[in-house]
Amino acid sequence: MTRAILLPAAGASRRMRGRDKLLEDVDGVALLRRSAMRALATGAKVAVTLPLDSPRKVALDGLHLKILEIDATEGMAASLRAGGAWAAQLRADALMIALPDMPDITADDMADMFVVQGAHPNTPLRATTEDGQPGHPVILPQRVFADMAALQGDAGARAILKDHPPRLHPLQGQRALTDLDTPEAWAAWREQH
């Protein structure tokens, strides 16, 4: 069984007011590198989407993963289309979309989700908070890779999940929703860690 993980890292980080959230230091490394290392620890194939000529590429030096450079001006759909094409080319059975700005998602969370999704391999799986609020990561089965090619704009995979309702998988606490998009969110998160 071939499993793949896409880290969509092509966003502009606009709400950080001049800082790049994916290059923020966490545990002595850039958040993007830390997220990629956690994805790689699952044993899955890993790809990262980046804008053309992105300085973020340096954070991934030496890691065994695929970098997909895209025109990031459109939004999330450009990353998802590139990731879907890459997963189809790999003949992956499933593609996890794991947002790299979610620092509390662990390698074990991702690996466990692949095990759970494997019991129902044709149905998407979506992480939730402990109390059931839908979040990330999301695993898409091979049968929807073709649908990813039609995604447009910045709505992510919402259209696919509407047409193919996911099973839900709770993760501990609020980690399925904790993302760090603003300096304030970073400050609050660092206070707790």
pLDDT at 113: 97
Considering the chain, what percentage of its residues have pLDDT values greater than 90? 73
pLDDT at 130: 95
Closest to 128 in 3D by CA, of 119, 138, 120? 138
Query: Considering its fold, how many domains does the chain have in total?
Result: 1
pLDDT, mean over the chain = 92
Q: Are 106 and 99 in contact (CB under 8 A)?
A: no
Q: How many Å from the N-terminal Cα to the C-terminal Cα in the chain?
A: 36
pLDDT grade for 29, boundaries at 50, 70 and 90: very high
pLDDT grade for 154, boundaries at 50, 70 and 90: confident
Q: Work out the number of other CB atoms within 10 angstroms of the CB of residue 94.
A: 26
Q: What is the pLDDT of residues 109-137, one digit of tens each?
A: 999 999 999 999 999 999 999 999 999 99
pLDDT at 171: 97
Structural domain including 91 reads 3-192
pLDDT grade for 18, boundaries at 50, 70 and 90: low
pLDDT at 185: 86
* Confidence check: pLDDT of 13 > 90: no
Closest to 115 in 3D by CA, of 57, 169, 165, 75? 169
* Confidence check: pLDDT of 155 > 80: no
Q: For residue 96, give the CATH number of its domain.
A: 3.90.550.10
Return the higher-pLDDT residue of 155 and 127.
127
